[in-house]
Each structure stands twice: as C-alpha cells, then as structure tokens.
Structure 1
C-alpha cells in the first residue's frame, strides 16, 4: 500500500511488463536466426491470440462490453499501428543497425509518450518523477550504448535509423491513442481486440508478394518449444501487463518504467546466461533502479 491507501498496481504492471519482455527476449534470442521478422511477428501474435481468445471470450459471454464504434476502431487501429507495423519495422531496423544502435533509438519512446501525453492527455509529471525520468533515461542509455559501434554501410545506417525512429514513434502513438479507452474498458477485452487488429494487419502484410518472398523458413530449424514460451511470456504476458500499466497509471509514468526492460535484460543475461556485466552496465543498472525508486516515490506522494 502507498501512503494514502493507494495501490500502485499500474506501476507494478509496467515494471512486470518490462521484466516479462526481457525474459521473452532471453528465450527468443536464437529464433531470429531461423525466422524472418514478419514471420516471427505473425507466429508469436497468432499463438497469443489462439491462447488468449479461449480465456477472454468466456469471461464476457452474454455480457459483451459496451464499446462505442469510434473506440472499437481506435483499438483495432492501435493493433495495426503498434504491433503489425511498428514491430515489423522494429525487427527490420534491428537487422540493419544491430541491438546496440536500436537500444539507443529505443530511448526515444518515453520522451515521445511524455510529449503525446502532455498534448493529448493533459498529463504532467511532478519534480521527483522528472528526476526519475532523467535517471532512468541515463541508466538505459549507459546499458544500451555499445562500447564499440560495428561499421556498416552509411546507406544502411541511415535507412535503419529512419526505420527505427518510425517504429518507436508508431509504438508511442498506438498506446496513447487507446489510453482513455483502457481506463474505461476491461483489460483482457482491449488486449484481445488489439491483437485481432494486429493479426489483420500482419496477414495483409503477409499477403503482399514482396513480403511473401521474405517469409520463407525451414520448420525443422525452428525451436518450437522456445517459440511458444517466448510468445507466452515475452508477447502475451508482457502485452497484458503493458496495457495494464497504461490502464492503471498515467501514460507518462508507464512509459518511463517500461524503459527498464533494457536493464532487466542485462541483469537476466548476467544471472541466467552468465554473461559478464561491465562497470558501465552496472552503473546503468544502479541509475535505472534509482530512477524507478524516484518514480514510485513521486507516485506515492499525495
């Protein structure tokens, strides 16, 4: 319980989403070698939809949530923009730039959500929360900035940067556009509708001749058990917690706490995969968790 009797469930869900996403990345880190970006995106979201629908639909059978047509279209569009388009562009940019550069570009996410929340949702941060934002941003930057950038062709660098920035911007737009709907509608229902929109968008992309040529894979090379676990944890659980964070707290606070995913990934890699954690990464972890503490204390202050 926070002072004043307020439970920070939104902050807890935002942090849980970041941790679940990091676990999913650890589970799925070898899948990209055998599955093209659009194929991986389609399979993961298809699996989550097949598992979530039998859980969510019986909960609302005979009493479907009342949702205005405008809000329904916004949720479906959010799935197309934030999952079908943004995730596919993100995976493409990842191939162009590598994880280090994309980690740096990913730092644009919370500032964009803060800006959009300020303009469209009339959200404001307190002084302690701004300090938390700066600490989290600095910590994530330390963790994600590679010690040495691998040389790539300038054309690929520019194209990758543009794709990466566009992907992050679409993610921010997609969540802010459904923030008000999330506050009034059941969480699983919005998640299910958003996934339906995403699958429509992904199937449309997959139907394009130019995209079909890039979706080929050898089934025998895919670790299917790893794909299922990655979909359940890194996609399904992470998505429900991610949307829950935006439902129960402000978009600005949720976005900042989501940034801790990069730090959770470094910590899990050190504990789970025994990967070394350098001094800079360790300093980034300390900065990030200090920023999280400021965000939570700022939330708790009456």
Structure 2
C-alpha cells in the first residue's frame, strides 16, 4: 500500500518538515532580509544535495527539455516564490501568509489541467476541497497580533499572491519534467535549487549592499540556519520533488500545503492554547486527506 501512495506520503512528510522549519524562519526573518535568508539557505542546501549525489554516485539523465523545465521551476518556485513568501511573512505574519498560501494548490490543479491535461477524480476533488477548507479554517482564526498598517498589509497581500502563483507554477513545471522521464527527485532538487540560487545571486548583485547583513551572521546563526536548511530545503524539497514524480500536481501540492495542521501539535507542546475551532479544522483536513488516500 505504501508504494502505491509514495507521492502522497512524501508530500505530507514535506509539509511536516516545513511546519517545524517555519517556526524557526519566522524568528530568523527578524534578523535577516528575505533575499539574504533565501540565498543563505539555498547555498547550504545545494552543498548538502551535491554531497549526497557524490556519495550515491548517481548519474543524471541528459534530457534538455526536462532540465530546462526544472530550471524554470526553480526560478519560479524558489527564486521568486520563497523570497515573496518570506516578504509576506514579514508583512502579514505566519497566519495570514499561510492562509493565502492555500491558493497555491487550486492554482496548481488548474495549471496542471490546462497544460498537462491532468484531471482529478470527483473523489480527489472532494478531498482537495476538504483539505484546503480545513487548513483555511485553522489559519483564518482571528488573532490579536495582526498588523495595523494598511499599506504593509497590502504589500503583504501582493507578496503572498505572488508566492502562491510562483509555487503553483514551479510545482506544475516540476511535474511536467519528472512524470515522464527517469530524472530522479534528488537531481531535480539540485537543478531547481541551483537555478533559484542563480536568480537570487543576480538580484543580490543588482541591489545596494545591506549594511547589517555581515553583522547579522554569527556562528550560532549559521548553525541554526544550517540545521533548518537541512530539514526545510534539503529534505523537504527532495520529498516535494518525490511527491510530484509519483502523484498528480494538484494532489501533491494540496498535501504539501498541510503544514499549518502540523504546527498545532507543536503549539500544544510549547504550551500554547489551541481552540476548538483549530481542532475542528484539523479534523476536516484529515477527512480530506483520507479521501485522497482511500
């Protein structure tokens, strides 16, 4: 049974890792600008993936079309999408940013239907709807700590929408590259990360120097960033690429968007109060996940 659902299980595992890492990234974002944070985590993850490939001595299939699609996917999803996501986190906070992030799965479903001819069954459609409803129900709960600056909220809204569209586009491009070739998820991860890092370096080179950047980096900060990059970028993106190879883009992207559900147990463990509304949202989302699996 597990072999039949390896794409779905990989997507859920990716969501779990991203949930844990998001807590750390919210804190790191207070010390580093989004572009710097994205650039640093990407560089660390590329080194990790490269070492893994050297140890495995895994050859890559030379398929120029697939490599081009993966490179464009990395530019969209990692270069643009992640930077916009971190910018939205700074403007809106995690709750609203995650809420707007639930737009990515339906966007991916529509794009996959238009460009890849990938439809979803009625049962899967119900599952996607329930998962997204449950996630939205959890993270749309009113919070006292919402930003009061309307211009900041508007900027955050723009960043969050760009992030959702970029991540959806990146997922569909990866699916197109992986579904019908023997390019492995690990090589796909390296190509996407490298392309995303290249566009970030270009943006870094063109922008004015950041005076606080060098001061912000300390040994402790690099250690925290390294551990977080290992789980959120190295492992999570590897798992995400695995999910896109073995599951339809809409389903993979939906299950990857369940990170907020995994944040709740962390909140309870950290002594935070979790409302009945949040628990109900989790139940709805889990019912949706069951529709996608059984």
Instruction: State the 1:141 CA deviation.
Output: 0.8
The question of whether the paired residues in 2 share the 8 Å contact of 1:205 and 1:211 is answered with no
Change (3 A) 1:180 1:214: farther
Correspondence 1:10-89 to 2 at 5 A: 10-60=7-57, 64-89=59-84
Query: What is the root-mean-square deviation of aligned Cα atoms in Å?
Result: 2.0
The question of whether the paired residues in 1 share the 8 Å contact of 2:147 and 2:153 is answered with no
Instruction: State the 1:178 CA deviation.
Output: 2.2
**Mapped partners of 1:139, 1:182: distance in 2:** 29
**Mapped partners of 2:189, 2:79: distance in 1:** 14
Change (3 A) 1:32 1:151: closer
The equivalent position to 1:130 in structure 2, one of 115, 121, 125, is 125
Instruction: State the 1:207 CA deviation.
Output: 0.8
Ranges in structure 1 where 5+ consecutive residues have no aligned partner: 298-302
Instruction: State the 1:236 CA deviation.
Output: 1.1
User: 1:168 and 2:164 equivalent?
Assistant: yes
The equivalent position to 1:99 in structure 2, one of 85, 88, 94, is 94
User: 1:108 and 2:103 equivalent?
Assistant: yes
**Mapped partners of 1:224, 1:210: distance in 2:** 23
SS where residue 152 of structure 1 aligns? coil
Aligned position for 1:294:
291
Change (3 A) 1:217 1:78: farther
The question of whether the paired residues in 2 share the 8 Å contact of 1:26 and 1:269 is answered with no
The question of whether the paired residues in 2 share the 8 Å contact of 1:143 and 1:281 is answered with yes
The question of whether the paired residues in 2 share the 8 Å contact of 1:191 and 1:240 is answered with yes
Change (3 A) 1:26 1:215: same
The question of whether the paired residues in 2 share the 8 Å contact of 1:143 and 1:266 is answered with no
Aligned position for 2:135:
140
> Once the two structures are superposed, what CA deviation does each residue of 1:236-269 show, in whole Å capped at 9, x if it has no partner?
1111001110111111111111121111112222
The count of residues paired between Structure 1 and Structure 2 equals: 291
Aligned position for 1:268:
266
Ranges in structure 2 where 5+ consecutive residues have no aligned partner: none
**Mapped partners of 1:38, 1:192: distance in 2:** 19
**TM-score between the two structures when normalised by the length of structure 1:** 0.89
The question of whether the paired residues in 2 share the 8 Å contact of 1:75 and 1:193 is answered with yes
The question of whether the paired residues in 2 share the 8 Å contact of 1:34 and 1:222 is answered with no
**Mapped partners of 1:190, 1:117: distance in 2:** 18
